Structure 1
């Protein structure tokens, strides 16, 4: 894979407060540059949600209402998040969730394209008993010794997803082939059907 042909891409992960629809409590966006995660230009934000974090959500990611008390509300960081994401592709595991939540919080924002590593894993590693992030990390032998935070925190999950994406990218000689396998139908970046020239 020639990584110089890749578009501007950020691996994203979001964590919510457990409400439906969720309020954001954490966002991470990790650029891929030259075939590596670029932690030096990554963005990560803790956010105080307008509604309390549910006990279930706090057990999953460890972000309690007390921890988030001094964090800024979403309107204070939304501009920073938008500036980092504007003009980029995004990648995430089970990406329609992250795409939907970010779109709801950033009215008018649309990524150039959306890569779903869950969809990519099903194509690149057929027949696995599970395609959960933890299972894929184990199957692919991903080394997370340098990962920040812990599992289910946005920075950790974005970093793990980035390494997983780069590992699976070796199965695809070109970006277009990877995108064809990884972009869910109907999301930005999905191949458009060719028009039939005989129809008018």
Structure 2
């Protein structure tokens, strides 16, 4: 009998991995407010690893008046106040994204996923599917697979694994793209280890429960 492997796990192959990233401003005394969201979907193909499905989404978001785009955010991301002045609200944008996400088993993927989980939970009424979906945190997965690195921030991992740094790093879709590269590298590393033979094994060490619903989302896997 052939031993199970991560590369041949039917659960991994059946699940859409939706890489998600927000850029947000954090006003004093208030919760972060998104100004941009990006998402792209990948699926594991046995023998080839994670492959893009063709699903991509990105949109600027008009923040509320109490959370304007700051000069520091503009320096970091290139997003200016005038860029978002005519954009849709976060509820409108997330409702569109939620409706557009491919059907079937879904797992969100994010670098330092609690940020994305919290922002989705804040707007759960308009993105119920996303807000109730568990997340795989590439930061935690990198830490489990490569203990001892000096840092697990995205820039540090880009350098550590010699990933392609996008010219527009800190824009939402660009960060999704490089996080998908990181995911591919980490899944390749996990597949070489006998400790990880299924998607459930990955979720056990790097999963984050959704914050948009009560209960343990790890049970989904």
TM-score, normalised on structure 1? 0.83
Q: For residue 41 of structure 1, what is the aligned residue in structure 2?
A: 55
- Report if aligned partners of 2:17, 2:42 keep a CA contact under 8 Å in 1: yes
Identify the match of residue 30 of structure 1 among 40, 44, 66: 40
Segments of 5+ residues of structure 2 without an aligned counterpart are: 1-6, 191-195
Q: Displacement of 1:84 after TM fit?
A: 3.4
Following TM superposition, the consecutive aligned residue runs of length 4 or more in structure 1 with deviations greater than 4 angstroms are: 185-188
Looking at structure 2, the residues matched to 49 and 184 of structure 1 have their Cα atoms a distance apart, in angstroms, of: 26
Identify the match of residue 104 of structure 1 among 116, 122, 127: 122
Identify the match of residue 117 of structure 1 among 101, 121, 138: 138
> Which deviates further from its counterpart, 3-12 or 63-72?
3-12
> Which deviates further from its counterpart, 109-118 or 180-189?
180-189
Segments of 5+ residues of structure 1 without an aligned counterpart are: 193-200
Looking at structure 2, the residues matched to 60 and 39 of structure 1 have their Cα atoms a distance apart, in angstroms, of: 29
Identify the match of residue 130 of structure 1 among 133, 151, 163: 151
Choose between structure 1 and 2: higher strand proportion: 2
**1:153-180 Cα distance to aligned partner (Å, 9 max, x none):** 1011111111111211121332121111
Q: Displacement of 1:39 after TM fit?
A: 6.6
Q: For residue 17 of structure 1, what is the aligned residue in structure 2?
A: 25
Structure-to-structure mapping, 1:70-81, within 5 angstroms? 70-81=86-97
Secondary structure (helix, strand or coil) at the match of 1:78 reads helix
Identify the match of residue 199 of structure 2 among 163, 175, 181: 175
Secondary structure (helix, strand or coil) at the match of 2:69 reads coil
Looking at structure 1, the residues matched to 23 and 51 of structure 2 have their Cα atoms a distance apart, in angstroms, of: 20
**1:134-192 Cα distance to aligned partner (Å, 9 max, x none):** 11111112234xx5x61111011111111111211121332121111111478653359
Q: Displacement of 1:112 after TM fit?
A: 3.0
Q: Cα distance 1:37–1:54, how it changes in 2: closer, same or farther (>3 A)?
A: farther
Looking at structure 2, the residues matched to 13 and 186 of structure 1 have their Cα atoms a distance apart, in angstroms, of: 15
Secondary structure (helix, strand or coil) at the match of 1:129 reads coil
TM-score, normalised on structure 2? 0.75
Q: Cα distance 1:12–1:37, how it changes in 2: closer, same or farther (>3 A)?
A: farther
